[in-house]
Each structure stands twice: as C-alpha cells, then as structure tokens.
Amino acid sequence: MSTIPAMFERTTRYLELPLNTRSRVLLFIAALLLGTTFLFPLWNMTMFAPQYPNGLRLDIYGFKFVGGNNGQDAKEINLLNHYIGMRELTAENFTEFKWIPFVIGAMALLCLRAAFIGKNSYLVDVTVLYGYFAVFSLWSFGHKLYTYGHELSPTAAVKVQPFMPPMFGYQKIANFEIYSYPAAASYAMAAAMLILLVALGWNIREVRRLSLTELRDLT
C-alpha cells in the first residue's frame, strides 16, 4: 500500500478508536475547569492616577463588568471615559457577553461527551474547536479595546489622541497608569486547553506505536 493511502487509513482508524481511561479523566477535569469560569473574572484592569492613589479596579467576567469599591469604580471609569469621548462601558455594548458564556458551556459539554461516550475523534473535535474559540476570543477582546480607544467623540470635553488600552501588562495614558492582566478564569481556560493538548498527545503517541494491521484489529 502506498504511503498516502496508508496515512489516511491510519488516521481514520485512529479517530474511530475509543478514548483510554487516562484521557477520559483529563477531559472531565477540563470540563470542571471550564465550569469555574462562570465564578471568577477573566480579566482585570486597574488604573492609577494622582487623584486616584488607591486605583480604580475593573474585573471583566465572561458576562459582566464588576467595578471595585462596591461598583463605584466602574461608575468613576465611565465618568472619565465620558470626558474624553469614549463610549460607556456597559454589558449592552459588549456583544461578547452574549456568546462567551454559551460557547464556554458548549465546550464543557463537548468535553463531557468525549469523556463519557467518546472516541478519539471527539477529543480531536473539542481540542480544535476550543483552540479556535480561544484565539478568536483574544482577537475579539483586543479589537474591542482598539475600537473603544479609537472611536472617540469629536465633541468630547477633553481631547486626547486615539489609543488602545493594554491587553497585557502596563501602559501610561495621559496621567493614568493602567495595568491589565488575565484573571483566574483565564488561567482556568488556559489550563483546560493544556489538558486537552496533553490528552491528545498521549493518544497520538500510543497509536504511533501500533502498526496499521494492529489498528485494523482494534477497529
């Protein structure tokens, strides 16, 4: 048999194999980690200025904003944004809040499906879909920050040059020092992605040890 048809058959046979117990346990853990993202913030932004020595804190969940100081920080940030012509930070202006919880829930369910009744093909599916979701979510967040800092009202009381708030790390904008970092839920999502990749790697390594004849016998 030529190399290319053999490679395709080997791949097909691999996808039909049932998941091993170790991979099923990892998938269950990944689903639990995704479930925690509804409890903790995905991102945190903190702003310091001479008039705000204690900082203004904003926690970004997958479905809402929560300001520090019992929500007063979010109101103060929106007041400052108004002066420079930025749109108000509201859940209605973030379409991501409408689809991120749904997609995270779907990813968790796909992990559970693969863990309980799955084949290797289910693991491949959820890993690829989750990777696409992670990359698209980061792009969407960055794009939203860019548009917020560049679509400034021309009638604003205070004129500033268009800017992009930081996604990672530190940035100084006017007299504000802004720190932006992933929070607990983002680390949980990253851990879930790592777990999926480890499970996928284990399965691929096991199958590579088998000959095509052995794969045929297993399927």
pLDDT tens digit at each of 219 positions of the chain: 456 565 555 556 666 677 888 889 999 999 999 999 999 999 999 999 888 989 999 999 999 989 999 889 989 988 888 888 888 888 777 888 889 999 999 999 999 999 998 888 899 999 999 999 999 999 999 998 899 888 888 888 888 888 888 899 998 887 889 999 999 999 999 999 999 999 988 777 766 655 545 555 555
Q: Are 148 and 87 in contact (CB under 8 A)?
A: yes
Residue-range definition of the domain harbouring residue 152 = 21-212
The H or E element containing residue 65 is: strand 65-67
Q: Give me the pLDDT at residue 213, please.
A: 55
Q: Give me the pLDDT at residue 1, please.
A: 45
Of 43, 49, 45, the residue nearest 74 (C-alpha): 45
In a domain, 12, yes or no: no
Q: Give me the pLDDT at residue 173, please.
A: 82
In a domain, 84, yes or no: yes
**Number of domain units in the chain:** 1
In a domain, 123, yes or no: yes
Whichever domain contains 60, its CATH number is: 1.20.140
In a domain, 202, yes or no: yes
What is the identity of the amino acid at 131? G
Map residue 169 onto helix, strand or coil.
strand
Q: Give me the pLDDT at residue 90, please.
A: 81
Map residue 119 onto helix, strand or coil.
strand
Output the CA–CA distances (angstroms, integers) from residue 149 to 42, 156, 163, 165, in the order listed: 20, 13, 5, 7
In which residue are the tokens 């879930």 written?
192
Of 114, 120, 174, 178, the residue nearest 145 (C-alpha): 178
Q: Give me the pLDDT at residue 83, please.
A: 82
In a domain, 217, yes or no: no
In a domain, 32, yes or no: yes
Map residue 88 onto helix, strand or coil.
coil
Output the CA–CA distances (angstroms, integers) from residue 207 to 21, 28, 48, 53, in the order listed: 15, 22, 54, 58
In a domain, 177, yes or no: yes
In a domain, 26, yes or no: yes
Rg (CA), the chain: 23
Q: Give me the pLDDT at residue 17, please.
A: 74
